[in-house]
Structure 1
Amino acid sequence: MEIARLSELSLQSVVDYICNGIYDNVDYKLSPNLSNQIYHSVINKAKEAPNKNIIKQIKNKLQLTKINHMYHKLNRNTMEMFRSHILDHLMIGFLDFDDFGRKYKDENDLVDIVSVLEDSMTYYCRRNLKLLTIRVQLNYQSGWAEVVGEMLPNLETLNITGIKLTGQELPNLCKSFPKLKTLDISFCAVTNLNGISNLKNLEVLIIRGLNLATPEDMDDLFECKKLRMLDFAKSNRNEGASVMWNYMKCGKVLEELEFLDCNGTDIDKSMVEVLMSTHKKLRTIVTLDSILDFSTIPGIELLNSSTPQLMIKSLHYYIAVNRNPFISWMLSLFRKTYLVQWTEDGDQQVLRDFVRVICSAMKNFCWDPCVFYEGVKCLLEITKEGNIKGLGPMEISMLIDQLIESGTKSRTLTYDVEKLNAAYSCSWNLFHQPQILYSPLLKIQKLCWYTVDFLASEFAPSIPTKQLNILWHMLARFDTEDAKKLCQRTDLLDSLLDFLRICNTESQVFMEEHRESINIVLEVIYSMTKVNDETAHHFINKKVQKIHAIPLMIQLSDIKWNRWPEQIKVFEILVNLTRVEKFMKRWGRYLRMNSKFLRNQLKGYYKYLYTSIGTYLATDKAYCSMTILSCLMCLPNKNKKKYYKWKIENTEMVKACQKIQTAHISMDLEFYLSCSILHDTLKKSKYDGPVMWALLTMKAMLERDIDLVEIFKDSGLLSVVQRVRSEEKGVMKLKLEVLRLLY
């Protein structure tokens, strides 16, 4: 059993307490750093925005300074929670108009972003805020920038990617935020940078996806004397003159410029040489997806695809500056350019660096299905049998942990489901590889619970073959406490029953193809219903679409598996349910009407008893069938009469038992091993039927071979038979006959 770090356990415990609504009993608030981590984990644990109870606990027990609410809808309760904290970072994405109605929209459907921010932050918080990212729809009421600028006088970073800025909105924005150091106006429909000169403190400018058609459109840019980083990526490459050409034609210099991102532009070698001569502090240019993608130029660093090391460095850069549109694209480029053709002779250190940066990308962009998908495909290439030998223990452990973490968080996403399903399919292929599944570094408990959660989620495939195989492999290495916890997972039980429902509608060929999975499902259901009464209750009441679970199991056993040894497991599951008081009350009538099927199991199964496992099957099958029949015979109807007269039914069962005994008795070791079943039946059964069956079995065996007396005595059967008590004369008569043979 793995031991997690104490800090991880503590944080996860608080997250669980908050999500379960039981963190109200503490009387202190956590530090801002811990609060931010916990909040991030809480909101990533569910698809919807936090409910009222969770918000109440976050409001009262945490001290948040950084909130990223980009991928959950903002509603009234969330706004109230925001106002209870003094923030310096706020990122908001969607408004829940089902909650707000038209409160924040005017007659032209323009968003009143000013009111949104006023209602989300207190006066002191607005004065304190340093970073703001807003993606609330695309069109805002005119004049919003000036008002927001007065509200947030100390703002240093503003990201409004995709928000339409028309007319004088950009100049007004630049005048309203004089302290800005970082501005992202990518894809804002801006056609010139007029007014940008007002941002005298600007150090980072991101203007991706803009159509700056002439040199005059960017003339004001050169008044930003402190600018260190400029991002032109993906700007008007195929629309008129290139952005780089217009930049060069300005004939001016940004003297402090150190980093230039020209990803997807028309930059060429001559432009780089001019930039090197004019921009003395320029050290790095990104030239991915350009004619310089595989080039090197002495004297300056080009981040491109020319070497694996440079690609890794490029991806680290995009992760650091949070450029999520490029991450999945670069991961795909990684895989196609280097990983697909990777051989055992490749640089092992580079392969390890690949793993680290891929895991970093997946960790930082866990909410992006495309990053999850491309990251998994990269790791799938890396973990091929030849490649995985080049990885160290740290990298193998890292990629397994990251796959589980990304898979867990991605289940909360509600968009791009097709891409998510493809990513999950690839990830399970990776887990199913022997070099991963049998790795000594595999965290058994973590992968097992991840598999259980996945099987219980909406992303689980209808035929979860790989997941069931992995689960079975993990369960074999589980300890007792973990096994008990697993048996409480009724959501897993629901998923397993859904799989059996599909089996009930498919052909025999389908059943044979998935026989291994069927066996696993039956074994898991048997274990769950055996040790946990709540799970057994859930099973009794469970309805799988239009059919209840118990009729489903009997139909499968009677029709689909009537010649399969697996049929016995269905009976063992039903026997598990007989200990639940509600079982016979709910299903007694149904089982009574199907009692002929149960009796036939006693009469007809002997034909398979000459096989190597025949004795076990006969013994278990007869025991299970008679246990259920005995329960039925003890069940009163409304008039307090029994459904069956014991003496009449007893005759049929005795004949069936005798038929089994005379058909299959053979003196081999496997048959002797049935002693334990006989012992448990006589000791634990509350009904006459199983006891009579056990006594009949012992009598027939002793009459065939008197040498079994010592084996039975050594197994404790003599003392158990002596303690048999029953009001039925037939049972007591059998007891005396068996004792006579034993003495």
Structure 2
Amino acid sequence: MDEDAPNKRNKLFSLKELSVKSLAPIVEKKVYENNSTQIDLIASQQLLAYFLRDTCNAEQMNKFTKAMTSSLNLTDLKITHEKINKETCDKIFGFKNLSSLELGSLASWTMFHLDQSLFADVPLVDVIEALRNILCEESRIQLQSLAITNDPVTFRTGWMCEMKGILPALTTLNLEKMPISESEFDVICESLSLLESFYVSKIGNLTGISNLKNLQDFHSIDSQFKGPEDVIDIFKLKNLKKLDFRGEQCVHLPCVRLYLDCAMSLFSLEFFNCMKNAISAEDVNLLATSHPQLKRIFVLDTRLQDVSQLETSNDQLHLISKGSLWQCLESLKLLDIRTQSELMNDVCVEIIGYLSNYEAYSKTVIFDCFGVLTQILRGELKFFIGKQIHANVLKCLELLCRGGRIEMFNKLTKLNFIDLLLETITWFNGRSDSVVWNIHSSSWNILHDISTSTLPEKSREFLFCQGIELLENAEHVLIAPKSCLDLMTKYLESRTEQLEDFLIYSKLVRKVAGNVADLAKLKFTPLFIATCNFLGTLHNICAVGRTEMTKFIINSIMYAFNVFLSADWLTQAYGFRIVESMLFYTDRETVKIVFIKHLKGLFLTLTQNEDKECATGPVISLCFTAFHLVERTYTMNELRTAENIAQISNLLQLLKHNKSIEYVDVMADFNSKLTSPMLLAWTKFMTTS
């Protein structure tokens, strides 16, 4: 794996992940006892991974209560990187509905290691005892799929004969990362007669495979076949639909040639993986003639990998290669990117060429480009892609965002496109160049034409969480365009209840508010307004009644206003109205404590500023908003102090003396809204000649 490739993401990615992180402490405190609740498969797997993250600590799995074990709705269990101890086994033993099990770390399961290993660096494992310790009887009886991957190990003698006794319903066995002997292969074929899918590696011959009458899917990786006699038993499998003779560590394998030398046919075969095999156009023609049901031949890393198509007698037969974008897309659905980084980078470079000459190609080609990029970044394989490939993917996406090209996509595809953009951008969080900025902007500007109210609730929650990730992890809040904040504000406004996880949103508020002053200094008014609006809405939904949060938000915005005072009065007026709406939910004492120093600073700045623009409509609008806050904050007796009277009189005299052409319109607007006797008196004072 590329050492530059990230190996995990410590970021909030979805509400499901947020809920898992919220649920975990409840489990740790042993207060979760709701036996009627069933958690879905994905959340169950995430929660289990959370508790297995450090199982070398014997106390970690003890935090799993019995109620939690029964509530986890696990049917598929993957234990791929964790160490296992007795306590862990006891907890996993409680899962009674398992149908699929993947074990990828047996080399670290020292409690099941035996002393008779022939190789110092390859442990001898009692896999039967391991399965008995982690699978209860119910799961052993119904388990259908077992995969043993990652670290190489060897198993004790006789394990194959016992496998059928403890896993009687097994239909899939994956041993592709664990070489077995020819005798072990033969015994497996005799004892596990129900197998429908079978993965092996570095096997020398297929003797005995004819016993697997139900086999439909056979994978033999890096096979060590020497002659046709090592392969010929495969032709007794009348139900076989998928045959995989690919190479991983080996190249120019003779498997396909030896298969054809048998001069026989598998009439049900639909797919043949010939990757890293010696294969020619004549061989493809021979396969087409002898295998009437064959639809796909995988030929990457062969001499045919750049061929788009060959004319054969079988019209439905297609090569899966990199001869065209469509074929790249098909290839990526089957490839293990961890072994094909150079090829993936070549594909990205080719797509850059397509997108750089966008007008010369049809929409179909561009759609295929998007499909290829999606496949490159799919699922867990993205963690194995190096930095160079990610950089090229980023360049491809940036090209695809130019000139309204994404308008060809429908709403659903646009949402998928946004997901892809935000997934990719997280790998380049430390960069601040124009490519990253364009990707960020494009991902949210797409939403201008999408009414969020028409989206399902889950989609809106997903987009909101993507916004949180963007804001939490960006080095500067400017990286999030105005449309991102506007969308998140709309989502918040659509909620009728308060946000429950206050700590998460408190952290978000502090991140955004902490950058407001920077926005003010940069005089980026539209984004500044959007940020203040977002903070105000977020406050009214999750911070109502929390005095310290109210103080923090208001102080952040007001500090920024003080920076803005001599530069942008319209923003100043807008911002004060947001603060006013926030203070509506706050007690008078809090308002007084937070607001007094800012209000005095505002009055002082206004009365001392000689700029003629100070008397324009926005400034008068700002002053009336300020007066409204003054009235709500102070009692009449407090307002009669000499200091306050002097400040208010100076300000009123200034505004009265410097009336602008917009003054009448502003006054008419406010006269229609004012009901306060004090504000009406001030209005009368200002309009008297």
TM over 0.5: yes
Give 1:521 deviation, angstroms. Answer: 0.9
Please say if 1:471 is aligned against 2:484.
yes
Contact 2:148 2:177 in 1 (8 A): no
Structure-2 separation of matches of 1:161 and 1:279: 26
1:670 maps to which of 666, 672, 681: 666
Letter matched to residue 196 of structure 2: K
Structure-2 separation of matches of 1:520 and 1:370: 37
Structure-2 separation of matches of 1:492 and 1:550: 16
Per the alignment, in what secondary structure is the counterpart of residue 184 of structure 1? strand
Please say if 1:69 is aligned against 2:81.
no
Residue equivalent to 2:641 = 647
Residue equivalent to 2:280 = 268
Cα distance change of structure 1 residues 577 and 171 upon mapping to structure 2, 3 Å threshold: same
Please say if 1:48 is aligned against 2:50.
yes
Structure 1 residues 638-687: Cα deviation after superposition (integer angstroms, max 9, x where no partner): xxxxxx896344433443343344344455212321225643xx27xxxx
Residue equivalent to 1:159 = 174
Please say if 1:610 is aligned against 2:612.
no
Cα distance change of structure 1 residues 448 and 53 upon mapping to structure 2, 3 Å threshold: farther
Give 1:697 deviation, angstroms. Answer: 2.1
Letter matched to residue 665 of structure 2: L
Residue equivalent to 1:557 = 561
Structure-1 separation of matches of 2:378 and 2:370: 14
Residue equivalent to 2:8 = none
Query: Which moves more between the two structures, 610-619 or 157-166?
Result: 157-166
Contact 1:537 1:580 in 2 (8 A): no
Cα distance change of structure 1 residues 92 and 259 upon mapping to structure 2, 3 Å threshold: same
Contact 1:571 1:625 in 2 (8 A): no
Please say if 1:460 is aligned against 2:473.
yes
Structure-2 separation of matches of 1:53 and 1:400: 42
Residue equivalent to 1:303 = 320
Q: Percent identity?
A: 14
Please say if 1:659 is aligned against 2:653.
yes
Structure-1 separation of matches of 2:452 and 2:219: 42
Give 1:342 deviation, angstroms. Answer: 6.9
Please say if 1:516 is aligned against 2:521.
no
Structure-2 separation of matches of 1:602 and 1:351: 56
Contact 1:540 1:583 in 2 (8 A): no
Cα distance change of structure 1 residues 74 and 487 upon mapping to structure 2, 3 Å threshold: same
Structure 1 residues 519-550: Cα deviation after superposition (integer angstroms, max 9, x where no partner): 21112112333566537546247xxxxxx655
Higher relative contact order (CA 8 A, sep 6+): 2
Residue equivalent to 1:32 = none
Structure 1 residues 470-515: Cα deviation after superposition (integer angstroms, max 9, x where no partner): 23443686695437667987644533532442455x698x623x44
2:148 maps to which of 102, 124, 134: 134
Residue equivalent to 2:3 = none
Q: How does 1:640-719 map to 2 (within 5 A)?
A: 647-666=641-660, 667-676=663-672, 678-679=674-675, 682=676, 691=678, 694-695=679-680, 697-704=682-689
Contact 2:273 2:297 in 1 (8 A): yes
Letter matched to residue 670 of structure 2: S
Cα distance change of structure 1 residues 159 and 328 upon mapping to structure 2, 3 Å threshold: farther
Structure-2 separation of matches of 1:334 and 1:247: 32
Structure-2 separation of matches of 1:46 and 1:419: 29
Give 1:298 deviation, angstroms. Answer: 1.7
Cα distance change of structure 1 residues 44 and 23 upon mapping to structure 2, 3 Å threshold: same
Please say if 1:498 is aligned against 2:511.
yes
Residue equivalent to 1:449 = 461
Letter matched to residue 526 of structure 2: E
Per the alignment, in what secondary structure is the counterpart of residue 198 of structure 2? strand
Please say if 1:600 is aligned against 2:590.
no
Consecutive unaligned residues of structure 2, counting only runs of 5 or more, are 1-14, 53-60
Structure-2 separation of matches of 1:156 and 1:119: 21
Residue equivalent to 1:620 = 625
Cα distance change of structure 1 residues 262 and 385 upon mapping to structure 2, 3 Å threshold: farther
Q: How does 1:272-283 map to 2 (within 5 A)?
A: 272-273=284-285, 275=287
Residue equivalent to 2:427 = 418
Cα distance change of structure 1 residues 249 and 440 upon mapping to structure 2, 3 Å threshold: closer
Structure 1 residues 563-600: Cα deviation after superposition (integer angstroms, max 9, x where no partner): 44334566556555655667847993x87777753552
Please say if 1:181 is aligned against 2:192.
no
Residue equivalent to 1:340 = 355
Contact 2:532 2:557 in 1 (8 A): no
Contact 1:185 1:206 in 2 (8 A): yes
Letter matched to residue 321 of structure 2: N
Give 1:333 deviation, angstroms. Answer: 3.0
Contact 2:257 2:278 in 1 (8 A): no
Q: Normalized against structure 1, the TM-score is what?
A: 0.66
Give 1:243 deviation, angstroms. Answer: 0.3
Please say if 1:526 is aligned against 2:536.
yes
1:293 maps to which of 299, 302, 305: 305
2:296 maps to which of 284, 295, 305: 284
Per the alignment, in what secondary structure is the counterpart of residue 474 of structure 2? coil
Structure 1 residues 14-39: Cα deviation after superposition (integer angstroms, max 9, x where no partner): x979986899778597xxxxx8xx31
Letter matched to residue 91 of structure 1: E
Query: Which moves more between the two structures, 463-472 or 104-113?
Result: 104-113
Structure-1 separation of matches of 2:48 and 2:610: 53
Residue equivalent to 1:119 = 133
Q: Normalized against structure 2, the TM-score is what?
A: 0.70
Structure-2 separation of matches of 1:184 and 1:665: 85
Give 1:311 deviation, angstroms. Answer: 4.4
Cα distance change of structure 1 residues 433 and 650 upon mapping to structure 2, 3 Å threshold: closer
Q: Over the residues paired in the alignment, what is the CA RMSD in angstroms?
A: 5.4
Give 1:698 deviation, angstroms. Answer: 1.8
Contact 2:147 2:173 in 1 (8 A): yes
Cα distance change of structure 1 residues 439 and 336 upon mapping to structure 2, 3 Å threshold: farther
Structure-1 separation of matches of 2:686 and 2:79: 73
Structure-2 separation of matches of 1:424 and 1:119: 50
Contact 2:112 2:129 in 1 (8 A): yes
Structure-1 separation of matches of 2:81 and 2:607: 61
Structure-1 separation of matches of 2:429 and 2:89: 27
Per the alignment, in what secondary structure is the counterpart of residue 652 of structure 2? helix
Letter matched to residue 135 of structure 2: M
Cα distance change of structure 1 residues 527 and 129 upon mapping to structure 2, 3 Å threshold: closer
Please say if 1:398 is aligned against 2:412.
yes
Contact 1:526 1:572 in 2 (8 A): no
Letter matched to residue 614 of structure 2: L
Per the alignment, in what secondary structure is the counterpart of residue 473 of structure 2? coil
Structure 1 residues 305-357: Cα deviation after superposition (integer angstroms, max 9, x where no partner): 344554455456x29xx988679966973882585367567555666677678
Structure 1 residues 228-257: Cα deviation after superposition (integer angstroms, max 9, x where no partner): 43323344565xxx2037843994356325
Contact 2:246 2:275 in 1 (8 A): yes
Give 1:262 deviation, angstroms. Answer: 1.9
